[in-house]
Amino acid sequence: RPPSTPPLDWPTRKRIALGSARGLSYLHDHCDPKIIHRDVKAANILLDEEFEAVVGDFGLAKLMDYKDTHVTTAVRGTIGHIAPEYLSTGKSSEKTDVFGYGIMLLELITGQRAFDLARLANDDDVMLLDW
């Protein structure tokens, strides 16, 4: 957000969080085959003028058979938003998206990025936000 833009109020943040969750729920539970987004982050949640959230950017999405997981040799996604189990095993599932949603929710609540890329060069122990 540009410095001149005021922070979002709590009802607006709640609206974005719930709209995003509904969108992911639709992809996971109501699409046949279900869709695993694999890159859930704030930049991929589109907002209209009333802050209604729509999940966007399906460039990394996978169609999944019921009760199946997808194994890939090339893990893709955004650093800091990739679920640890997906990073280590290459298996994606709904849990992959839930992790990304949790990181996005952390950013929505705090108004900060959850992961600071500038720390990569200076610190071997890169973690989420320092409180």
Task: Give the domains, in start order, of the chain with CATH numbers.
Answer: 10-114 (1.10.510.10)
CA distances (Å), origin 8, targets 5, 16, 18, 64: 9, 10, 15, 35
Is residue 56 within 8 Å of residue 28, measured between CB atoms?
Answer: no
Question: Which pLDDT score, from 0 to 100, does residue 79 have?
Answer: 76
Question: Which pLDDT score, from 0 to 100, does residue 89 have?
Answer: 85
Burial degree of 13 (CB within 10 A; 0-12, 13-18, 19+): middle
Sign for the CA dihedral angle at 98, 58, 104, 8 comes to negative
Question: Which pLDDT score, from 0 to 100, does residue 13 have?
Answer: 97
Angle at 129 between CA 128 and CA 131, to 5 degrees: 130
Marked catalytic residue, from 29, 32, 39, 68: 39
The 10s digit of each residue's pLDDT in 62-121 is: 777 655 555 555 677 777 778 888 888 888 889 999 999 999 999 999 988 887 666 555
Question: Which pLDDT score, from 0 to 100, does residue 122 have?
Answer: 61
Is residue 89 within 8 Å of residue 50, measured between CB atoms?
Answer: no
| Pairwise CA distance, residues 94 & 99, whole Å | 9
Question: Which pLDDT score, from 0 to 100, does residue 65 have?
Answer: 60
User: Does residue 50 carry a pLDDT above 60?
Assistant: yes
Sign for the CA dihedral angle at 30, 35, 40, 45 comes to negative
Active site residue 39: yes
